[in-house]
Homo-oligomer: A and B are copies of this chain.
Amino acid sequence: MIIILQPHVTSQSAEFRQLMDYLSHRPNIQTRLHQEIGTRQTLTEIYLIGDTASLDQAEIENQPGVERVVRISEEYRILGRHHDDRRPTGFDYNGVLFSQDNLNVFAGLCAVDTPEHVEEMLKTLQQHGQVCTRMGAYKPRTNPYSFQGHGKACLPWVFELAGKYGIKVIAMEITHDSHLDEIRAALEKTGKPTGVMLQIGTRNTQNFELLKIVGRQREFPVLLKRGFGITLEESLNAAEYLASEGNARIVFGLRGMKTNMGDPHRNFVDFAHVPVVKRLTRMPVCIDPSHSVGTRERAPDGLLDVYHVTAQGVIAGANMVLVDFHPHPQKALVDGPQALLLEELPWFLEDVAIAREAYEKRRLLAERETRKLRL
Binding site for B on A (CB under 8 A): 74-75, 77, 81, 100, 140-145, 148, 175-176, 178, 203-204, 206-210, 227-234, 237-238, 240-241, 244-245, 257-265, 268-276, 278-279, 292-293, 297-303, 305, 307-309, 311-313, 315-317, 343-344, 347, 350-351, 354-355, 357-358, 361-363, 365-367, 369-370, 373, 375
Contacts and interface: CB of A to CB of B under 8 A. Distances in A.
Given A144-B245, A175-B209, 11 more contacts: A81-B300, A142-B206, A142-B234, A233-B263, A269-B272, A278-B300, A303-B366, A311-B362, A312-B316, A347-B365, A355-B358
Shortest 8 CB-CB contacts between residues of A and residues of B: A229-B229, A269-B272, A275-B299, A176-B209, A203-B206, A358-B358, A302-B366, A312-B312
Contacts of A355: 315, 358, 362
Contacts of A272: 262, 265, 268-269, 271, 292-293, 305, 308-309, 312
A237 B292 contact: no
12 contacts: A175-B208, A178-B209, A265-B276, A272-B308, A272-B309, A275-B303, A278-B299, A302-B375, A311-B358, A347-B373, A350-B365, A357-B358
A207 B259 CA distance: 20
A200 B203 CA distance: 14
A303 to B, nearest CB: 5
B357 A77 contact: no
Contact of A230 (B210, B229, B262, B278): B229
Given A233-B263, A272-B269, A315-B355, A301 B366 contact: yes
Contacts of A276: 264-265, 297, 299, 305
A224 to B, nearest CB: 13
B142 A301 contact: no
B261 A268 contact: yes
Question: By CB atoms of chain B within 10 A, which of A209, A272, A292, A367 has the most?
Answer: A272
Contacts of A176: 209-210
Given A231-B260, A279-B299, A354-B361, A77 B145 contact: yes
A80 to B, nearest CB: 12
A375 B264 CA distance: 22
B263 A232 contact: yes
Contact of A144 (B143, B237, B308, B316): B237
A369 B348 CA distance: 10
A175 B207 contact: yes
B373 A344 contact: yes
B315 A237 contact: no
A271 B302 contact: no
A298 B270 contact: no
A148 B208 CA distance: 10
Nearest to A282: B300
Given A278-B299, A344-B373, A355-B358, A315 B312 contact: yes
Contact of A365 (B210, B238, B265, B354): B354
A338 to B, nearest CB: 14
Contacts of A366: 301-303, 307, 347, 351
